[in-house]
Amino acid sequence: MPHITFPMADLRALAGEPALSLDDLDRLSTLVKGELKRRHSSEAEAKVELQDTNRPDTWCVEGIARAIRQRRRGQPDAYPCFQGDAAPAGTIEVDASVERVRPFVAGFVARGWTVDEAGLLAFISAQEVLSRNFGRQRKSVAIGIYDAARIAWPVRYLAAPLEAREHAFVPLTPPNPGDARDGAGRPIPAARWAERWTPGEVLRDHPTGREFAAALQGADRAPLLVDAAGEVLSFPPIINSQGLGRVVAGMTELFVEVTGTTLDQVLLTANVLAANLADRGARIEPVRTVYPFDTPRGPEVQAPHPLEDRRSIELEAAEARRLLGEPDLAADEVARWLAAFGLDVARQGERLRVTTPAYRVDYLHAVDAIEDFAIARGYEALSPLMPEEFTVGALAPMTLFADLARERMLGLGYEEAIGNLLTSVDEVRQKMNLGERPEDAFGALHGGPLVRIQNVMNRNYAVVRDWVVPTLLEVERRSTGAVYPHRVFEAGEVAAWDASQNLASRTEQRLAALLVHDKAGFSELQGVLDQLLRSFGLAFGDGYQLLVRAHPSFIPGRATAIVARGAELGVLGEVHPEVLTRWGLYSPAVAFEVRLDALRGVVSGQ
């Protein structure tokens, strides 16, 4: 979730509250689902984390100031630029070549505001946060800003071959040009910054190009914005040109453009930026984009765009009363607070038509407006009610059964462990003397194949364990400082690969125990297992049997399958010295593992 930092002075000026303190901000940031990061903030500079991924308009100082301002004034600010009726200040002509690469572009011109440091910093912050968090690292949204006074209209949006010399341009010089290295790690000579680069060269050698190349997602052509004089504005979503694309304080005419892969996302981003600049005093003039291909909003789309079809919902006051639990809530009160939240509300008796401003299109359902009302008025206005209806609490049958087994293991003198499920192939296979072929499975206890992670991040956590004995050996490996003998167990989950299942796996409950001391032997743990099974009504012989069966993790002839009424419950055996050696253990060990689901099935006669 985005974090933003801004000067408190800028916030105070935009909010029109010269005395606004950090404490005030702490309280008011709930309006934008923000959390003031106290430790990183001072009265001079505030850091706020914004939560609402559907409200990119709140991820900037202008958005926070707007919420504060509107709440004080009790009504929405007016944004004439979203009427959609002004004559365009210019046109962007889209070339068919961008359709496959990055089809959409929207822009507007901002006049009458002299760029100052605070405004420029805030714009850059919004640009970064929007293109990173809303535009998925510039993949779906990227933003450019230019000196509009020197642009020759119309601007063309085209996709050129990466190595096209005819569209080579001088890219923005990075912040520390002296330290810059090209793609081969060589320093970039100072003279290079004044030269023209092809888009391919930018991607290969320019520090900014290399940082953001992934945003193009492997396209073989470079989107370019070029003005009528053939001057390159930028190479979206990578970098601006050093000529038109360098904005400094003192400029008074700006062109802002947004490119991307989803038209409405592009338009919404342009709207947010237009509102921000309007808040600073700029007059927003629309720019029209003309497409040679069809778009969801037709061949000609103007920005800022009203997005009118995505902004209104109908709200019955009764619905707000029911959802919030306030039988006496009046429709008028709801309307009043929504207006103070920047929403346009038309009330007809009990029915409200609520319309968001064009910089937010997050209303999907009436519940969204109900929450806005609750936030606008403040959650502290809602007094909590205790649950009124009677329900019966219950554990899942499997949990109850596992808890019984745990209790019995404790009574038998075994200490409980709790393990992570994610582990390595090494731990559950190699170290256990096992392979991953189907024939390496031991009944239903563990498979050969494992539930593996496809996008592995760390080899140590690449698979889900399908048996618990390896976890206990890892516990033992770490426990050599604890008093012996070691008697340890875990009742826990595993996930076993099972191609026959809908979810390609079975999540099961297991009970495993490990006994380690100088004279640890089969019969001692057999006695424990026998007590455990006997406590569930299974006596040796009639109730369950131990069948000698080879298992590579255990000493040959000293591994047995636990079988009850035809069901394979698990394994009991003396751990193979080869396995102990691989774990770095120097004391004999005996282990068993029981499939609790299967045991429960046997016990309950299922």
Partner 1 sequence: MSESAGGGAPLTPPLTPNEAAVLRAAGDAPEPLTALAPRAGLRPDQAQSSAEGLVARGLLSREEEATVRLVITDAGRAQAEQGVPELRIRRRLEQGPATIQEAQDLPGLDKAAVGAAFGALKKAGLVVVEGPQVRAAPGDGWAVHEAREGLLRRLADAPEGLDPASLEPALLQDVEARLPAKRGKKGGEPFERQEARARRYAITPAGAVARATLGAARPEVAQLTPQMLKDGSWRDVSFRAFNVAHPPATPSARRNPYRAFLDQVKQTLLALGFEEMTGSVVEPEFWNMDALFLPQFHPAREIHDVYFVEDAARPGECVFAREIEGGALEPVALEHEGQGRSGSRGWNYAFDRQRTKRLVLRSQGTVLSARALQAVKTPGKYFGMARCFRFDDVDETHAPDFFQIEGIVSSERTSFRHLLGLLELFARQVAKAPEVKFVPAYFPFTEPSVEVHMRHPDLGWMELGGAGIFRPEVTRPHGVEGTVIAWGLGLDRMAMVALGIKDIRHLFTNNSPEGLGSLRLK
Residue nearer to partner 1 on the CB measure, 148 or 354? 354
Smallest distance, partner 1 to C-beta of residue 98, A: 20
Among 19, 191, 248, 503, binds partner 1 (CB under 8 A): 503
State which of residues 45, 93, 182, 326 lies at the interface with partner 1 (CB under 8 A).
326
Query: Which is closer to partner 1, CB of 235 or CB of 414?
Result: 414
DSSP string, 470-521: HHHHHHHHH-TTSPSSEEEEEEEEEEEE-TTSTTSEEEEEEEEEEEESTT--
SS3 label, residue 410 = helix
The stretch among 226-234, 297-305, 488-496, 585-593 that binds partner 1 (CB under 8 A) is: 488-496
Q: Report CA-CA distances (Å) from 89 to 18, 285, 304.
A: 35, 6, 12
Our finding on whether 484 is near partner 1 (CB under 8 A) is yes
**Binding residues for partner 1, total number by CB under 8 A:** 105
Binding of partner 1 by 518 (CB under 8 A): no
- Of 105-113, 201-209, 218-226, 489-497, the window that binds partner 1 (rule: CB under 8 A) is 489-497
Of the candidate spans 199-207, 418-426, 550-558, 589-597, the one that interacts with partner 1 by CB under 8 A turns out to be 418-426
Q: Give the DSSP per-residue string, 284-352.
A: EEEEEEE-SS--TT-SEEEES---GGGSEEEEEHHHHHHHHT-TT--HHHHHHHHHHTT-EEEEETTEE
Residues 6+ apart with CB under 8 A from 369: 313, 315, 338, 343, 352, 354, 363
Which amino acid is residue 532, in one-letter code? L
Residue 78 · residue 214 · CB < 8 Å: no
C-alpha to C-alpha distance for 226 and 269, rounded to whole angstroms:
21
Query: DSSP state, 188?
Result: P
| CB nearer partner 1, residue 111 or residue 406 | 406
The residues in 339-378 that bind partner 1, with binding defined as CB under 8 A, are 363-365, 367-368, 370-371, 374-375
Q: Which of residues 212-251 bind partner 1 (CB under 8 A)?
A: none
Of 135 and 207, nearer to partner 1 (C-beta) is: 135
The least distance separating partner 1 from the CB of residue 317, rounded to whole angstroms, comes to 14
Range 123-152, binding partner 1 (CB under 8 A): 133-134, 136, 140
Q: Is 19 in the site for partner 1 (CB under 8 A)?
A: no
CB of 389 to partner 1, least distance (A): 4
Instruction: From 100-108, 167-175, 468-476, 527-535, give the range in contact with partner 1 by CB under 8 A.
Output: 468-476
The kind and range of the H/E element at 232 are strand 232-235
Question: What Å distances lie between residue 116 and 63, 242, 280, CA to CA?
Answer: 18, 20, 10
Which amino acid appears at position 67 of this protein?
Answer: A
Subset of residues 255 to 274 that bind partner 1, contact rule: CB under 8 A: 262, 264
Q: In whole angstroms, how far apart are CA 539 and each of 106, 145, 529?
A: 77, 80, 11
Residue with tokens 């890219």: 171
17-25, 213-221, 285-293, 471-479 -> range binding partner 1 (CB under 8 A)? 471-479
β-pair type (545-548, 554-564): antiparallel
> Binding to partner 1 by residue 170, rule CB under 8 A?
no
User: Residue 395 is which amino acid?
Assistant: L
Cα(178)–Cα(189) distance, rounded to whole angstroms?
8
Alpha-carbon 29 to chain mean position: 22
Structure tokens at 541: 């012989």
Kindly state the DSSP code that residue 173 receives in the 8-state scheme.
Answer: P
Pick 85 or 388: Cβ nearer partner 1 = 388
Contact characters 71-110, partner 1, x per CB under 8 A = ----------------------------------------
Query: According to CB under 8 A, which one of 348, 455, 523, 606 is a site residue for partner 1?
Result: 455
Residue whose tokens read 């370019």:
224
Q: Which of 168, 266, 354, 417 binds partner 1 (CB under 8 A)?
A: 417
Q: Which of 145, 131, 157 is nearest to 214 (CA)?
A: 131
> Based on CB atoms, which residue is closest to partner 1, 96 or 398?
398
- To partner 1, the closest distance from the beta carbon of 484 in angstroms equals 7
Sole binder of partner 1 in the list 22, 86, 164, 412 (CB under 8 A) = 412
Pair of tokens at residue 63: 């958005």
- Minimum distance of partner 1 from residue 236's CB (angstroms): 19
Shortest distance in whole angstroms from residue 420 CB to partner 1: 5
Within a 10 A sphere around the Cβ of 450, how many other Cβ atoms?
A: 21
Show the tokens assigned to 151. Answer: 């642009």
Applying CB under 8 A, which part among 108-116, 287-295, 420-428, 538-546 lies near partner 1?
Answer: 420-428
Structure letter (DSSP) for residue 527: H
Kindly state whether residue 495 participates in binding partner 1, applying the rule CB under 8 A: yes
Measure the CA dihedral 453/455/459/462, to 10°.
-10
Measured CA to CA, the distance from residue 591 to residue 159 in angstroms comes to: 66
Q: Which amino acid belongs to residue 30?
A: T
Q: How far apart are CA 496 and CA 39, in angstroms?
A: 46
Within 8 A by CB and 6+ apart from 23, the residues are none
Query: Distance (Å, rounded) from C-alpha 523 to C-alpha 546?
Result: 12
Least distance in Å: CB of 376 to partner 1? 10
C-beta of 190 vs 214, nearer to partner 1: 214
Q: Binding mask 372-411 vs partner 1 (x if CB under 8 A, - otherwise)?
A: --xx---xx-xxxxxxxxxxxxxxx-xx------x--xxx
How are beta strands 90-94 and 283-290 bridged, if at all? parallel
For residues 271 to 310, the per-residue mask of contacts with partner 1, x marking binding by CB under 8 A and - elsewhere, is ---------------------------------------x
Binding segment for partner 1 (CB under 8 A), chosen from 60-68, 228-236, 280-288, 459-467, is 459-467
Minimum CB separation from partner 1 for residue 319, in Å?
10
Q: How far is the CB of 559 from partner 1 (least distance, A)?
A: 23
Q: List binders of partner 1 among 31-70 (CB under 8 A).
A: 31, 33, 35, 51-54
- Residue 43 burial (CB count, 10 A): 12
Q: Point out which span in 25-33, 199-207, 235-243, 595-603 binds partner 1 (CB under 8 A).
A: 25-33
